[in-house]
Structure 1
Amino acid sequence: MNNYEKYFENNRQLWNKRTPLHRQSDFYNVPAFLESRTSLNKIELEELGDVSGKSLLHLQCHFGQDTLSWARLGAKATGIDLSDASIEEASRLNQQLGLDVTFVQSNVYDLKENLQGQFDVVFTSYGTIGWLPDLEKWAEIIHHFLKPGGTFYIVEFHPVAWMFDDDFQHIVYPYHNTFEPIVTETEQSYTDGSNHEKLKEYGWNHGLGEVISSLTTKGLRLEFLHEFPYSPYNIFRHMVQDENGYWRIRHLENKIPLLYSIKATKPQE
């Protein structure tokens, strides 16, 4: 992975700068979260199901709200993230809530060197795998940390959505992974339009075939693939909200998928 180290380091610094902005944003609403609000959405709660008493590994956890929410539901949770600032903030929230969640700063690809054990559940969600160039390596990590009979679950923004420009008028990015990074510069985060200095992002798009094949090639058994024409978050331009609280692109309502979810299991040995 040495060829990608400069991109990972850039993205680590990017998320270190974003974390304090996100901590203060209405999007993450930390005061309400500390009171009792879950950060999890209906999709993952229903599709992953009961986690009480299960060990759960959360990949790319940011500053830990979802990890902590799973712990509130009875999971023995561990969260990992590339950003040291995010892990520090996650650890502070864990202490404030009096929970027993473990947080580890690590690149996903380096996790074998930084974490021991296996888990009943490996979970990741909403804007994670686009920061990773190589999904075969990602799937190998998932397989390694899953117990036999364990469950992997992902809910993620659909690769079709990432093909468009910011106004969803033109296709400008490839659907398939070229392994060359997609480079963008922005002065805003997705949280309430929070402003920061202009920062570069390095990311990679992953078609559904690549995602599924990476998992099945490593021996995981696909349980389902679901696609959704809406998002629980208002993070793109020109979005409108329906009566159920979900968001769609105004001129592309129900015409393109915005999310997908996958559930897979590791066979018993």
Structure 2
Amino acid sequence: MTTTQDPAEWRAANRANWDERVPIHVAGPFYDLPGFVAGKDTLRAFELAEVGVVSGKTLLHLQCHIGLDTLSWARRGATVTGLDFSAPAVDVARGLAAQIGADTAQFVTADVYDAVHALDAQTFDIVYTGFGALCWLPDIARWAQTAAALVAPGGFLYLAEFHPFADVLAEDGRTVENDYFQRDPIVVDAPGTYADPSAVTTATLTVEWLHGIGDVVSALAAAGLRLEFLHEHDSGHFRFPTGLRVPQVYSLRATKVE
């Protein structure tokens, strides 16, 4: 891992990595596409409780990858739009929508920072961002401004994301491995994917950023959204061997005042 990378190259490197991951994610058990088509849900219980009833509402999912969470909201009655910068991922999402009969679901290929233009300045009752999204963005203030512009008056942004504090700990749950206040780009050169670490890949370089919770909340407030709640959860993808309970996930909801 290093922290040197030309900022102009980060988007191309990350897109190439995600494009190559798509067929691996489609074919493997991690995302379990046959199970999803058969009715499997990908949303966590706390997301459903905190977002509430979505039937009859419009919902935009930023950085939607292959669209499983997007289409899970569609199954609950939302009119959904998913946006992702990976064209192969969007193609898969469209195919899944057709398979499950989500006829009103739309998917758009665009960078998240270009979302307002790509969506013709349309606004939505709910703007949703799910796990593992913010680490791919260098400018959290610009993300917040973009998301706020897409929320309709009276609507809200809902974010469920991996907690940055968990990222500072090694797998033993005791050793501090990373700097919580690291804000320079973090360049990782590693093969495979979280869904299949043994997969053979050629686009191995990724560029990521760590955003503290204070950064995210402050950016949303500066963008004109009013925070309703910020919740921390000790459940996530990991269970530290020590039994140490740390926040692994956080969620927040921020409203655009009418």
* TM-score, structure 2 normalization: 0.92
Unaligned runs of 5+ in 1: 234-238, 240-247
Which structure is higher in strand share? 1
The answer to whether structure 1 residue 208 and structure 2 residue 213 are counterparts is: yes
Tell me how far 1:167 sits from its aligned partner. 5.3
CA distance in 2, matches of 1:189, 1:72: 28
User: What is the match of residue 125 of structure 1?
Assistant: 130
Tell me how far 1:166 sits from its aligned partner. 5.4
Tell me how far 1:177 sits from its aligned partner. 4.9
User: What is the match of residue 4 of structure 1?
Assistant: 7
Tell me how far 1:170 sits from its aligned partner. 3.2
User: What is the match of residue 188 of structure 2?
Assistant: 184
The answer to whether structure 1 residue 42 and structure 2 residue 33 are counterparts is: no
The answer to whether structure 1 residue 249 and structure 2 residue 240 are counterparts is: yes
Structure showing greater relative contact order (alpha-carbon pairs closer than 8 Å, 6 or more residues apart): 2
Q: 2:144 aligns with which of 139, 152, 156?
A: 139
CA distance in 1, matches of 2:210, 2:54: 30
Q: 1:114 aligns with which of 94, 114, 118?
A: 118
Relative to structure 1, the CA distance from residue 210 to residue 252 in structure 2 (aligned partners, 3 Å threshold; closer, same or farther) is: farther
Give the secondary structure class of the aligned counterpart of 1:250: coil
1:111-133 deviation digits (Å, cap 9, x = unpaired): 12211210000001110000001
CA distance in 2, matches of 1:10, 1:40: 29
CA distance in 2, matches of 1:209, 1:12: 28
The answer to whether structure 1 residue 259 and structure 2 residue 213 are counterparts is: no
CA distance in 2, matches of 1:45, 1:252: 27
* Coordinate RMSD, CA, aligned: 1.6
* TM-score, structure 1 normalization: 0.88
Relative to structure 1, the CA distance from residue 188 to residue 176 in structure 2 (aligned partners, 3 Å threshold; closer, same or farther) is: same
Contact 2:172 2:240 in 1 (8 A): no
Unaligned runs of 5+ in 2: 1-5
Give the secondary structure class of the aligned counterpart of 1:261: strand
Relative to structure 1, the CA distance from residue 203 to residue 252 in structure 2 (aligned partners, 3 Å threshold; closer, same or farther) is: farther
Within a 5 Å distance, the mapping from 1:10-29 to structure 2 comes to 10-29=13-32
User: What is the match of residue 101 of structure 1?
Assistant: 105
Give the secondary structure class of the aligned counterpart of 2:47: helix
